Amino acid sequence: MVLAAVLAAMVFTGCGTETGSRTGKQMETEAGGTGNTGESGQVVVVMGVSSEPEAGFDPAYGWGAGEHVHEPLIQSTLTVTGTDMKIGYDLATDLKVSSDGLTWTVKIRDDVSFTDGEKLTAEDVAFTYNTLRDTSSVNDFTMLDRAETADASTVVFHMKRPYSIWPYTMANVGIVPEHAYGAGYGEHPIGSGRYILKQWDRGQQVILEANPDYYGEAPKMKKVTVLFMEEDAALAAVQSGQADLAYTAASYSDLTVPGYGLLDCKTVDNRGFNLPAVPSGAVSEEGIPLGNDFTSDVRVRRAINIGINREEMIDHVLNGYGSPAYSVCDKMPWYEPSAKTEYDPEGAEALLDEAGWVKGSGGIREKDGKRAELHFLYPAGDSVRQALAADTVNQLKKIGIDGQIEGVSWDTAYDRAQSQPLIWGWGTQTPMELYNIYHSVKETGLAAYSPYANPKADQYMDEALAQNDLEKSYELWKKAQWDGETGITQNGDIPWIWLVNIDHLYWVRDGLKVAEQKLHPHGHGWSIVNNVDQWSWD
């Protein structure tokens, strides 16, 4: 398989904001030094404190991966993703995969240098991947046997097993220099990307400056200052004019900030809950209770899925800033459209009647002396998930299912989700999200996060990974969701209920033109500045 050449000009979609004229007045900022102006090509961005990479800007320790997936600004990547989530090229100029899917051969550019003047070669690429294979605790490299060079501009990846979506991994792995990599690299990274890290004050800010020797189109923004603040402080920075763009939450969206507009970015940052699909009674090897007698009935799970009004939930919880979620891969090339359902409370009640759950006192259903009820868990301290859990309980009461909610710590949440529904947050730009949630694991024969298994869906996902044609693999991922007879969507097993995709919101100074975004993944972080090099001032 040979992928198409890198997109010469990318059309960005996903966000919209109203912008007006900029005053041009310079301001002193908390970032230290002179504030920015349109003419100077500077921008001050505020992100949440969780966006600061604890281990620094080292791809081996999470930079460019995890919850804040993005194409690193400081390092170059072999591939990139477009707004349609199809693969294009960055360092790569050609890419081929063997018929058995076990060998990937990548040709790279020969005109790229690191910012210390040393040339970037295939040796650096192989070194990066072998290092991440051995040390990364964030990226999954268990499928990689080794990376080696064929010549100075050709790297060959030897896989332990076929992995058709390897190009998506390559889009998030920044290439580091073998000659300059070691302890402390994360604090003083050398790369070949669009920007150079000039200053990092832990807990406060990062200052990036445009790489004057960048091999691609020169960044329009010559200096990018990123401040790390809590939500209230971010709002204050905007209200005082000390930031050009700052993240915010839906709870602040009704405010009016003079000189700023609200940027609304669409996402695959979804929220939903698991429904244990096996009866109770079994325990794991660690003694964790498995299963739930109520949700083990597929008719109950289907009733819950169509008994929730997602649009109403978006209005109640997110102030309208969200979209209904029907799967963990909404809007992606591998999304199966039949996952979408309509709100149908009458249909939900009919399914519960069919399952033998009859309305009793107070309108709550009963069967064999037991009440229809669910105990929803949510991560303590997460107000949005708490509100989603509460709204879910209120809505389900209308069809006769009682419920309670409880905030829990992650120390116990994973274990308790094996028998109770937990409000989760997921969403990334690779089909492995689907695999990790629904595919069974060898140790238990059940999926990892909630007890469920479908051998046919497993087979489709395994076949998708074994493909040597990325485009063809999309159809197999879709079949894992629903093939006409079985799958994980409403007409199938529906072991997870997806509620909403949460829009990412930002205050943007009038006159700042933010290049429209790709769909953001889970995490209100670095995705917004993925294309900061293409931003401009009116």
Residue 183, C-beta contacts closer than 8 angstroms, at least 6 positions apart: none
Q: What is the pLDDT of residues 501-533, one digit of tens each?
A: 999 999 999 999 999 898 898 888 899 999 999
pLDDT computed for residue 478 by the predictor: 98
Cα 521 to Cα 515: distance, rounded to the nearest angstrom: 17
Q: Is the CB of residue 140 less than 8 Å from the CB of residue 62? A: no
Identify the CATH number of the domain defined by range 270-501: 3.10.105.10
Mark out the alpha helices in 187-297 (DSSP H runs): 231-239
Category of 133 on φ-ψ map: left (φ > 0), alpha (ψ -120 to 50) or beta: alpha
Q: Is the CB of residue 246 less than 8 Å from the CB of residue 237? A: yes
End-to-end CA distance of the chain: 43
Task: Return the CATH number of 15-23+50-193+246-267+504-537, one of 1.20.1440.230, 3.90.1150.10, 3.40.190.10, 3.30.70.1230.
Answer: 3.40.190.10
Q: Is the CB of residue 352 less than 8 Å from the CB of residue 346? A: no
CA dihedral 219, 221, 222, 228 (to 10 degrees): -120
Mark out the alpha helices in 43-189 (DSSP H runs): 122-135, 166-170
Give me the count of residues in the chain.
538
HEC letters along 178-190: HHHCCCCCCCCCC
Q: Is the CB of residue 509 less than 8 Å from the CB of residue 244? A: yes
Residue 123, C-beta contacts closer than 8 angstroms, at least 6 positions apart: 149, 152, 178
Helix (H, G, I), strand (E, B) or coil at 95: strand
Q: Is the CB of residue 399 less than 8 Å from the CB of residue 426? A: no
Per-residue pLDDT of the chain (538 residues; tens, 9 = 90+): 333 332 222 223 345 543 332 222 233 333 333 344 444 799 999 999 989 998 899 998 888 876 556 678 999 999 998 878 889 999 999 999 999 999 999 999 999 999 999 999 999 999 999 999 999 777 789 999 999 999 999 999 999 999 999 999 999 899 999 999 999 999 999 999 999 999 999 999 999 999 999 999 999 999 999 999 999 999 999 999 999 999 999 999 999 999 999 999 999 999 999 999 999 999 999 999 999 999 999 999 999 999 999 999 999 999 999 999 999 999 999 999 999 999 999 999 999 999 999 999 899 999 999 999 999 999 999 999 999 999 999 999 999 999 999 999 999 999 999 999 999 999 888 899 999 999 999 989 999 999 999 999 999 999 999 999 898 999 999 999 999 999 999 999 999 999 999 999 999 999 999 998 988 988 888 999 999 999 999 8
Category of 231 on φ-ψ map: left (φ > 0), alpha (ψ -120 to 50) or beta: alpha
β-sheet bridge partners, residue 270: 426, 501
Q: Is the CB of residue 244 less than 8 Å from the CB of residue 226? A: no
**Considering only CA atoms, which of 98, 99, 124 is closest in space to residue 112?**
124
Q: Is the CB of residue 209 less than 8 Å from the CB of residue 198? A: yes
Cα 189 to Cα 465: distance, rounded to the nearest angstrom: 33
**What are the residue ranges spanned by the domains of the chain?**
15-23+50-193+246-267+504-537, 270-501
Q: Is the CB of residue 350 less than 8 Å from the CB of residue 357? A: no
Category of 435 on φ-ψ map: left (φ > 0), alpha (ψ -120 to 50) or beta: alpha
The one-letter amino acid code at 515 reads A
Q: What is the pLDDT of residues 359-416, one digit of tens each?
A: 998 999 999 999 999 999 999 999 999 999 999 999 999 999 999 999 999 999 999 9
Cα 444 to Cα 232: distance, rounded to the nearest angstrom: 45
Average pLDDT of the chain? 90
Residue 447, C-beta contacts closer than 8 angstroms, at least 6 positions apart: 437, 438, 439, 440, 441, 453, 495
Cα 49 to Cα 452: distance, rounded to the nearest angstrom: 36
Nearest-5° Cα angle at 425, 438 to 310: 95
> 342: burial class by Cβ within 10 Å (0-12, 13-18, 19+)?
exposed
Q: How many CA atoms lie less than 13 Å away from 202 in the CB half-sphere?
A: 8
pLDDT computed for residue 31 by the predictor: 36
Q: Is the CB of residue 64 less than 8 Å from the CB of residue 172? A: yes
Compute φ and ψ for 489, nearest 5 degrees: -95, -170
pLDDT computed for residue 26 by the predictor: 30
